[in-house]
Structure 1
């Protein structure tokens, strides 16, 4: 916790989060925000055990790391790895691995922005379609979908997300709504998620977030440092379980080209 406050005091404070899952969004729930075209993100998170979907494989605090790229301002693709320990309760692991990080779960995630905010109509919210961990990833056969059951595809979900931002006197307010879906038995999803974020006018690099992710109510913040190259994330899942992460962000296209396309 002390490290968080040190960063707040000394950072040169615009991060869009859900980086606990390696993609743009809020804390856990998706949003329809997007990164700049050509943005590359490399990051990692401390994940409390309540933030992980399957107690058979996890049930303990862990870590993930990810690589994320945004193309054409509308398409975002991420590759996420979550570390696994050997568990005595799980016969898959030999005794030498018990209590040690010896493997990792790997999955892909993708987001497509169907509509940008204000496109076609000034009041139009941004709309994104997304998917996480869509296949079992068995070998190179990606035709075996992971929507159902409790096998591979632990982070599987599909979603539709909408976002609208409002300029208010004291800052910028973002309002977000989504519908999440899978038919998993280990962490079933089929319901709404709602959230808000607020960037105070006196310090817009600080992004305060509150959400209901269809399972729990979470609060936290993201904090942009060094001209948005580093982004810090801190959250309290269900108001009490800590997760935190750090992301390095760079734009591969460059500022001039971005300004021209925008």
Structure 2
């Protein structure tokens, strides 16, 4: 029985590496893959990361594979803020009335970046009132890009419209269940809202993660498995878009994503990988520094 348990854990680890999966690398904040959660980083934690993103894992603006990098800090145990940059590629498309927006000699190259700010505020800590009470977080991604009015490209004739490509607002609820000498299960539920013309959301999302905490007995298998954080989510996704930026007016549809985060050195260095819709791979690396 003992050897069967070891074999299963080794098999699970190999499957996870083969099938892959990630953390919330689209936004550079704490969460699952595309779903926000009520988890918070340790007080005074600074995160810096860089990722390669398959276009299926991004919002409709990016119909091509891209990359991003970010810095994020948990200023207080109840407040997290981040700054994210995402690569723009020059492509020969027609932006409404802005034909020839990019210089033809730059087509196919990354020549610009979208910059966005992200915030998360914990309004209720897990277990504050009763042991069973969950943690509650409210947050906003890319909240200052005029997305209440539809965001960029919705009114191309106006010069003062904002971007807000990654815009959304959310309420997230999280509850953890401990399994002694095995690990911690996190159950997550959130409501996500966005008013962007190409990314309208007013929908729930749900997900779960399991972080292993096996009792170590000197075995290298236990040490390897204890670095794993497995994730799954059901979230409002996006229909595929055409290369001329004609977005599908039907809006979001639900999709299932699988992911994994792996800590190589006491949570200071983490690899994050995702299978969007259980098929499309994205991945990156996150460095964490605890200032307190």
Normalized against structure 1, the TM-score is what? Answer: 0.84
Structure 1 runs (4+) greater than 4 angstroms displaced? none
Match of 1:100 among 88, 109, 120: 109
C-alpha contact (below 8 Å) 2:23/2:274 kept by paired residues = no
Counterpart Cα distance in 2 of 1:22 and 1:240: 22
Aligned CA RMSD, in angstroms, stands at: 1.9
Q: Deviations over 1:50-82 (max 9, x none)?
A: 122234xx3110000001000110100000000
Tell me the secondary structure at the aligned position of residue 103 of structure 1. Answer: strand
- Cα deviation for residue 205 of structure 1 reads 2.3
User: Within 5 Å, which residues of 2 pair with 1:31-46?
Assistant: 31-46=37-52
C-alpha contact (below 8 Å) 1:233/1:244 kept by paired residues = yes
User: Within 5 Å, which residues of 2 pair with 1:1-262?
Assistant: 17-55=23-61, 58-90=62-94, 91-136=100-145, 145-151=146-152, 152-168=163-179, 170-202=182-214, 203-215=225-237, 216-253=255-292
Give structure 1 stretches of 5+ with no counterpart: 9-15, 137-144, 254-262
Counterpart Cα distance in 1 of 2:63 and 2:42: 36
C-alpha contact (below 8 Å) 2:23/2:259 kept by paired residues = no
- Cα deviation for residue 154 of structure 1 reads 0.6
Number of residue pairs aligned between Structure 1 and Structure 2: 232
- Of the two, which has the highest radius of gyration? 2
C-alpha contact (below 8 Å) 1:68/1:76 kept by paired residues = yes
Q: Deviations over 1:27-64 (max 9, x none)?
A: 11000000011101110111111122234xx3110000
- Cα deviation for residue 200 of structure 1 reads 2.9
Normalized against structure 2, the TM-score is what? Answer: 0.76
Tell me the secondary structure at the aligned position of residue 147 of structure 1. Answer: helix
Tell me the secondary structure at the aligned position of residue 19 of structure 1. Answer: coil
- Cα deviation for residue 250 of structure 1 reads 0.2
- Cα deviation for residue 150 of structure 1 reads 4.3
